[in-house]
Chains A and B, each alone.
Chain A
Amino acid sequence: MAYLPADFDRLPPQAPEAAETLAPSPPLWQLLLQDMRACLAAGVVLLVLVMAFIGPWLWPQDPATQWLSQVSSGPSAARRVDVVSDEFWHGPRQNVSALTALQATTTQVKLAWPDRADAMSYRVYRNAGGVGLGMPLIETVKTHYADRLQLSEQRYRYSVVAVRADGSTSDPEWIEVKPELTLGTFEAQLLGLDVMDGKVSLPSHPLGTDALGRDMLSRILHGAQTSMLVGLSAPLLFITLGAFYGALAGLLGGWVDNVLMRIADFVVALPFLLFMILFRVALGIESGESGLFPMVMAMVLLSWPSAARLVRGQVLQLRESAFVMSARLAGAGNFYLIRRHLLPNVLPLLLVSLSFAIPQAIFTEALLSFIGMGVVPPTPSWGTLCNEGIRSMLTHPHELIIPALAISITVLSFNVLGDALRDAMDVKVRRSLR
């Protein structure tokens, strides 16, 4: 076969497929931006982080202040209320002709009723919207009673029943009362509020208050701080530790690798809760002192092996790959190899595991604070908020639902973000291998 001169001509420009395989894969963040749920999750995560760190500054209410006249209340606006005497009431000056409410405030509802000849004593009941007489308040021989029991601004029906000598009871006499929100003098003094014209200003509570009258919004924001502090610091620390450990094992290989990985296997087998309690004891932390430090310590010291394994596997694979070999042949040093080839290929992997470790750490903190191993009162954390909410779950569900939602949404966002990151990584890996 003979060659024609034409055979030695340039080929026309072509092969777009080949050009595409050589093009660098798009950066991770671009892939992420194409993903709707990733954007949403990232937005929520950013919002939570921002709120955790500047939120308490934007909403400067003290999360420990107890507005005792507004316990377990729903959302309320700022307002000015009267300060009234909270002294013991000795009864009305003159007799009344029917059941009367002489004062109707949330500090005291002063009731008086006429005496009945056949009555041995009187039972006073209070009904707040249920059926029947409602809650028994007192059995008294007097003809007056001041109700002070956790009054809120709602309609109450008070019933007074006379008890006769033979134990039988009269038909109830009743009255409807809607007390006005006021503060007792001692409570106003305790809160350190300025009394002007007999009135004080109460702040608003956009998410209501808890069972001790503490502002829920402020507690959620301060709780976020605790949760984020643990949720970010522990994973950052243990993943960094694990990455170095794994990289060392992977790079050195041989018997060193073997020994290091057996140690990692050993650490995996250690029970987390037990060690956290051991650290508490070892550090001399008593009940009543914050257990956050031993918690983070136990997380860091016991959770690194998974990151170490991940990195070691990746490093082993990369070490044998063609481009690392060729770089080595071209005379690249260890430092250059790590910086140019290993780190960029391991980093996204770490990012993914970090985004899964964070929600897990938030959850662990919430769980441990829930069972009383974490922060101590009055410092809030989402876990302790849930614990407090459970006490009044049946009567005031918002005290449990709000912190539970905060935990769920945050953990979900981190998880979705992690998922999206992993998917984006997959695309990137697939493209670069094609």
Chain B
Amino acid sequence: MRKCIVATVVICLLFPTFVLAGAVNAQEQRITLSLATEPPSLDTALATDQISSFLLAHLMEGLVQYGPAGELVPAMAERWEVREGGATFWLRKNAVWSDGKPVTAEHFVYAWRRALDPATASQYAFILFPIKNAEAVNRGELPVEKLGVEALGNYRLEVRFDKPCPYFAKLTAFMTFFPARQDVVERWGRAHAADADKMIFNGPFILTRWIHGARLTLTRNPRYWNADAIRLQEIDLPYITTDPGTHYNLYKDNRIALAPLDASTLSDALSKGYETHLFDFGTLYFLEMNFREDRPTRNLALRKAIQSVLNPSLLVYKVLGLPGVKPAYSLFPSSMRAGEGVVFSEHYPPPVVNYDIAQAQRYLAQAKRELGDIPPLTLLVGDSPRAVNEAEFYQYVLKQSLGLETRLDQQTFKQRISKMRRGEFDIAAAGWGPDFDDPITFGDLFASWNENNRGRFADDDYDAAVRQAQRSLDPAVRLKAFDRMQQIISEQVVIIPTYENVGLYVQHPQLMGVRRSIFGGDPNYRYAWVKP
């Protein structure tokens, strides 16, 4: 009997190591990773979240993609040309789908029409709006055939614009622009891309296993046009959990090759001597002011007073305390590029705000003359520990320096977004990540027509600058327009930028060549390999 128990215990101890391989395997060139959640859909027209973006970046390929330094490199398109009125893409002839059929221009036309078709109800349809007639098609006012995109033969794609769109090539690296096969989509209908065998791939990997809620496996695609450059044979994703602590523990147990860190796991990773890495997400966090009629924050002097006391460097260095997080002073993150190799903040540094309590009190006195007594301000914030700490810091600073009372309205992400949309806040803590590599992805956020302009800021000068940046092909004019935007944002205190977030992570020392990129799916294991 005792032997039996001992045997069971031994088997229990050994069993996991037999079934679950280690984090990396150099001989077979396979790696094991984890996911935060299961992808809701791998349909390129419907996918919106980061997990889908990460998976699709390995399974599919668009016209262009981002290279190691963030530059555009050829993918399905060998070369391209963006003009004032449109763009042309010349497709490579050696690209095939995972079933061997060639990838043709018609597949892009079909995919883009499908994403804009109101029946598809794609949430990312707006990203296709630079294409001629796209908005009208999406509203159902024009048939999809009227969309300004056309296949000239099998390997040439012609796009016409409504108005000039200098950054269009960058957009096509985004997942909504990936090609689709009409025969596959129509064969599966609603079930398309809901299982591994109900979709088709043109990227470096194919999805060979998708056990819902439990496991996904990506295997190298031998038919990929650039298959020789792909060294990993398999990416296994057998762990799906939202808890950041679990990912870290899996990494510690040598089960996964890469794990994100947060404030609490960081200190453990440091004490264990793991090498930790930083990755700049290019995400901006800020406090958004409400400009609606009945809100005290409509008053400029009050906003100025608040701006003069909320010193981002105090927040970042004393309260947040995470390495790599940078205090933000502009609408555009410091690493944002406006064209090849042009870092915007190096040409137009952020506007200078004078953090001075005496001056803030003068602004406040003026606000009180204009408004009378100022009621407690509602500060809408998230419910994560970090968000709450941040909020208590803002509350303290406003009370201590200006005597302003604030109410903290802590809400879950979904609730916070819906309250922001309804305008139920005075000041809201928000964040914004770029969709593509151009400052306009931040700039048009506060245009009076933008749905995501939650504070309802409306300013003719600002709108004019946004239009100019959207239409002009001249980089110098665009840079000036962006500078105008960041100046107005600061002068009018539309938002108070607080910090630029970074990701901290640990990575297996044998795993090489992983690319972290803000755009086009992150992290990117296309060119990764396992060092023996």
Contact = CB atoms under 8 A, between A and B. Distances in A.
A394 B264 contact: yes
B400 interface: yes
A136 B392 CA distance: 27
A391 interface: yes
B469 to A, nearest CB: 28
Given A66-B400, A134-B270, A288-B378, 6 more contacts: A131-B273, A184-B314, A187-B314, A191-B400, A393-B264, A394-B268
Interface in B373-418: 378-379, 385, 388-389, 391-393, 395-397, 399-401, 407-411
Interface in A371-425: 372, 376-378, 390-395
29 contacts: A68-B318, A71-B319, A127-B270, A130-B271, A130-B273, A131-B273, A132-B274, A132-B275, A134-B270, A135-B266, A135-B270, A135-B323, A136-B277, A136-B323, A137-B324, A149-B317, A150-B321, A186-B314, A187-B314, A190-B357, A191-B400, A212-B319, A212-B389, A288-B379, A288-B409, A394-B264, A394-B267, A395-B263, A395-B264
B318 A287 contact: no
A281 B317 CA distance: 39
The interface residues of chain A, by DSSP majority, are classed as loop
A213 interface: yes
Contacts of A211: 389
Contacts of B378: 288
Nearest to B326: A138
B366 interface: no
B392 A378 contact: yes
Interface of A: 64-66, 68-69, 71, 86, 126-128, 130-139, 148-150, 184, 186-187, 189-192, 211-213, 286-289, 372, 376-378, 390-395
B318 A213 contact: yes
Contacts of B385: 390-391
A287 B410 contact: yes
Contact of A68 (B272, B314, B379, B409): B314
Contacts of A392: 263-264
B313 A212 contact: no
A186 B267 contact: no
A184 B388 CA distance: 24
Interface residues of B, number: 45
A115 B388 CA distance: 42
A136 B391 CA distance: 26
A282 B271 CA distance: 50
Contacts of A372: 410
Contact of A86 (B274, B309, B313): B313
A148 B318 CA distance: 8
Nearest to B400: A190
B110 interface: no
Interface in B306-333: 309, 311, 313-314, 317-319, 321, 323-324
B276 interface: yes
Nearest to A289: B407
Contacts of A213: 318
Contacts of B396: 64-66, 212, 378
Contacts of A288: 378-379, 407-410
B278 interface: yes
In the A-B complex, list the 8 residue pairs whose CB atoms are closest, starting with the nearest. Answer: A288-B407, A131-B273, A132-B273, A150-B321, A68-B318, A391-B385, A148-B317, A288-B409
A191 B318 CA distance: 14
Contacts of B266: 135
Given A66-B393, A187-B314, A391-B389, A149 B323 contact: yes
A376 B408 contact: yes
Contact of A189 (B318, B357, B391): B357
Contacts of A191: 400
B355 interface: yes
Contacts of A378: 392, 395-396, 399
